[in-house]
Chains A and B, each alone.
Chain A
């Protein structure tokens, strides 16, 4: 029990079990009268045409891509933010350089027009 994460583990298990138990309780309490019409896919009363896989804009991928890159960047920045105060000023500038290199990436994506929704 000396590992702080064991508390987090118990916490997450309870956080998943509680709503799960409530769902089961609701299922027991609620009526159950399934019918094919009721279970149809809902589209405001209009009958469904085709399957549920519709073609998506590839542009969603561009945003996901930018997100991944910046997410990884920020993860690198957290140890920097933790340590820079106890290191020479040089270390602060290293972090700034790290951010600026990626800011160039954002500028490139912007200039390329990949961020224009169409």
Chain B
């Protein structure tokens, strides 16, 4: 009997049955099927970039009271394809003195690092590439490929602005990786699982965004910085370092950095949805598991919209502000949040789900109130100092 509600499972079983009829035994059929999934998923991930670029350009345009792409095709839908044709037929320039192999490898790694994240995202109860028992750490490991790609790009181009931009970018990415991994630790703490499927399953009752809103906020900010979008786009500040690490890139190679950035942002949205918004859970998922894919894409798009919204809203920050914001606010906050949540969660592990989550939420609110009070006090004293410096010094002190 065909159960269309569990579409992915049915499809998988059908394909495996087909392979078995072709003469494979059961384990070989299962292996061939997962290899097929592993080979198709990167393609799907790459193709996702096409609608994303259109969507983001439209959103940004609306937020800035413009029309956005509207010439090629209905609602400008075909604009991305026109751009693809253009970028595929552009001349591919490698500057003199560049390290050719490394120069070509960098954009490939930039995309591969982002696409690699898709291997562990659960799209529905039965639809995921692979359920690793160290899924969350795998995300961090795949992310290092992006950092590596930028270092390679900056070094290989033989251009001092590229190298300078790469250094800035890497300094930002590694700095914000600390709060990012700290925020990724929170779902692990609360669910007791490192696999993403386990984390989603633990959110059937309460999404982690409600039990740990501060961690969700940390994740949101840190991943925006990790992707390097406004207000954290000082690594491609045109006025200072003429576009940063990718200055020498043109044609398809530049296109890959561009695609990598868009895809990274959306993938971070999907991860945010998985880790904090309950992933594929939602009403009706128990009877129709295929609905999960719809839920996670909606939730992921929502988080992605938050990223785009922030990009359209905030002005670019300076490098010292970027570093201070991370090392003097986000990292200490994460370091305090984790033991606090662990103690509350462990202390109330015997009590009911609602009491435990209410206590976790209370701990978050208390910590947030504390941080805001400290920040307010520091800000007030800084303003006082600025005000007292602004008044002219007494005559006796003037020389």
Contact = CB atoms under 8 A, between A and B. Distances in A.
B91 A31 contact: yes
A8 B130 contact: yes
B252 interface: yes
Contact of B95 (A33, A40, A70, A77): A40
Contacts of B95: 39-42
Given A54-B164, A71-B181, A1 B89 contact: no
Contacts of A56: 164, 167
Contact of B91 (A30, A44, A84): A30
Interface in A53-81: 53-54, 56, 60, 63-64, 66-67, 70-71, 74-75, 77-78, 81
A29 B256 CA distance: 16
Contacts of A23: 104, 107-108, 252-253, 256
B14 to A, nearest CB: 20
B251 interface: yes
B185 A18 contact: no
Nearest to A54: B160
Q: DSSP majority for the B interface?
A: helix
Contacts of A18: 42-43, 46, 111, 115
Given A18-B42, A100-B339, A117-B319, A82 B93 contact: no
Interface of B: 27-28, 30-31, 34-35, 37-39, 41-43, 45-46, 87-97, 104, 107-109, 111-112, 115-116, 118-119, 129-134, 136-138, 157-164, 167, 171, 174-175, 177-178, 181-182, 185, 188-189, 192-194, 242, 247-248, 251-253, 255-256, 319-320, 323-324, 327-328, 331-332, 335-336, 338-339, 342-343, 345-347, 349
Q: Which 10 A-B pairs have the closest CB atoms?
A: A1-B31, A26-B252, A117-B320, A96-B339, A10-B38, A7-B130, A15-B115, A67-B174, A11-B38, A15-B112
Contacts of B181: 71, 74
B144 to A, nearest CB: 10
B97 A96 contact: no
A112 interface: no
Contact of A15 (B34, B111, B194): B111
A5 B157 CA distance: 34
B324 A117 contact: yes
Contacts of A89: 346-347
Contacts of A81: 185, 188-189, 192, 194, 342
Given A23-B253, A96-B343, A14 B328 contact: no
Given A33-B91, A63-B171, A41 B319 contact: no
A50 B247 CA distance: 18
A82 B160 CA distance: 45
Contact of B171 (A12, A60, A86, A106): A60
Interface in A80-95: 81-82, 84-86, 89, 92-93, 95
Contacts of B163: 52-54
Contact of B89 (A7, A30, A51): A30
Given A15-B115, A54-B164, A43 B136 contact: no
Contact of B159 (A27, A52, A60): A52
B132 A14 contact: no
Contacts of B338: 77, 99
A15 B323 CA distance: 32
A85 B38 contact: no
B182 A74 contact: yes
Contact of B97 (A41, A60, A66): A41
Contact of A103 (B34, B174, B252, B332): B332
26 contacts: A1-B27, A2-B27, A11-B116, A12-B119, A16-B108, A18-B46, A22-B256, A26-B87, A30-B88, A30-B89, A30-B90, A32-B92, A38-B93, A39-B96, A41-B95, A54-B163, A60-B167, A60-B171, A63-B323, A67-B178, A82-B194, A93-B343, A99-B338, A103-B332, A106-B327, A115-B327
A14 B35 CA distance: 10
Given A52-B160, A77-B338, A81-B189, A19 B35 contact: no
Q: Which of A33, A78, A106 has the most CB of B within 10 A?
A: A78
A110 B112 contact: no
Nearest to A27: B92
Contacts of B167: 56, 60
A78 B137 contact: yes
